[in-house]
Homo-oligomer: A and B are copies of this chain.
């Protein structure tokens, strides 16, 4: 019996810095008085993520102007359990408006494949490249020829761009080509895309095909970051599962560390893609006194908390043992200690261009 043998193997304990989820999906982000952000940050800190970059697209709307940003900021003031920052969504006609909010958010997200508010015209995307401050990151979920359009604009404007949620071999190839040719492009893959494919869930277009998934694993060197993204939530919806708003958060690290246990990834592969690279790409703040302890090769059954996950009941080979946040133990063996929420809205960190901050104030 495999389970018993697993329980008998010895395990190793590893220290990691506080991790970053660069694409946290918060369904009720712009819904008045929603506690989704609070709940997602709580699940995040328990899972080892001490910083989340919140995707500016929720279930019922997106952060696309000053008004919707205010709602999200207000929800952030209910108290959060890890640090977070907010971004803003580009639409076909809000290039001017969002320049007013640029100082209060971490980045601009240009959606092509989201539930609503997608951009279709190159001219609209171009307007955003012109209006958005040059020192602030631009993120997109563009695929195939849309991806080529965005990379072209990045190339012509000599700007950095980050591609989130890559699922296909061809897109990864195009990104690799861009990197090879000196384009400032980085990318992330949703962790679920590494472990689930259309072979597991036929017709689930937002998952990679089995062939594409194999290509993601083959070309890990092109993938800068692993993220959670909205994929777990979309999958639950696709399967008509009434999932928790935090679906996918608890699975993330155990899945990756199980691959470490199986020799498919190294601890450094994971650390680079959940801490070092996210911090560098998005110029995130240092989180003093924040770290975690994980155990690898220790069998652990997922989903004890009772909420749905495609991995519920599966035996994984790793677990988060302890999370320390701001010098205090926040989490032990997956249970949050009852501490007050001490996360901060870090959206304005790095909001000013380095030169302007030193010299005179903007006019």
Interface residues of A (CB under 8 A from B): 121-123, 126, 144-146, 148-149, 151-152, 155-157, 170, 173-174, 177-178, 181-183
- A183 — nearest CB in chain B belongs to which residue? B156
Give the residue of B152, B170, B183 whose beta carbon is less than 8 angstroms from that of A148. Answer: B152
With A122-B174, A174-B122 known as contacts, the answer to whether A145 contacts B149 (CB < 8 A) is yes
Bound: A121/B156 CA distance, A = 22
Task: Determine the chain B residues whose CB is within 8 A of the CB of A146 once the complex forms.
Answer: 145
Task: Determine the chain B residues whose CB is within 8 A of the CB of A182 once the complex forms.
Answer: 156
Count identical subunits in the complex.
Answer: 2
Bound: A157/B181 CA distance, A = 7
- A146 — nearest CB in chain B belongs to which residue? B145
19 further A-B contacts with Cβ under 8 Å, apart from A123-B173, A145-B146, are A122-B144, A122-B148, A122-B170, A122-B174, A123-B174, A126-B177, A144-B145, A145-B145, A145-B149, A148-B148, A148-B152, A149-B152, A152-B155, A152-B178, A155-B156, A156-B177, A156-B181, A156-B182, A157-B181
| Chain A to chain B contacts (Cβ below 8 Å), 23 pairs | A121-B170, A122-B144, A122-B145, A122-B170, A122-B173, A122-B174, A126-B177, A144-B145, A145-B146, A145-B148, A145-B149, A148-B149, A148-B152, A149-B149, A151-B152, A152-B152, A155-B155, A156-B177, A156-B178, A156-B181, A156-B182, A156-B183, A157-B181
- A126 — nearest CB in chain B belongs to which residue? B177
Task: Determine the chain B residues whose CB is within 8 A of the CB of A145 once the complex forms.
Answer: 122, 144-146, 148-149
Bound: A300/B157 CA distance, A = 49
Interface centre among A123, A145, A183 (most CB of B within 10 A): A145
Closest approach, in angstroms, between the C-beta of A38 and any C-beta of chain B? 40
Interface centre among A123, A156, A157, A183 (most CB of B within 10 A): A156
Closest approach, in angstroms, between the C-beta of A245 and any C-beta of chain B? 34
Task: Determine the chain B residues whose CB is within 8 A of the CB of A151 once the complex forms.
Answer: 152
- A181 — nearest CB in chain B belongs to which residue? B156
Closest approach, in angstroms, between the C-beta of A322 and any C-beta of chain B? 46
- A142 — nearest CB in chain B belongs to which residue? B145
Closest approach, in angstroms, between the C-beta of A166 and any C-beta of chain B? 14
Residue pair B170, A123 in contact (C-beta under 8 Å): yes
Bound: A153/B200 CA distance, A = 35
Task: Determine the chain B residues whose CB is within 8 A of the CB of A148 once the complex forms.
Answer: 122, 145, 148-149, 152
Bound: A146/B149 CA distance, A = 8
Bound: A182/B156 CA distance, A = 8
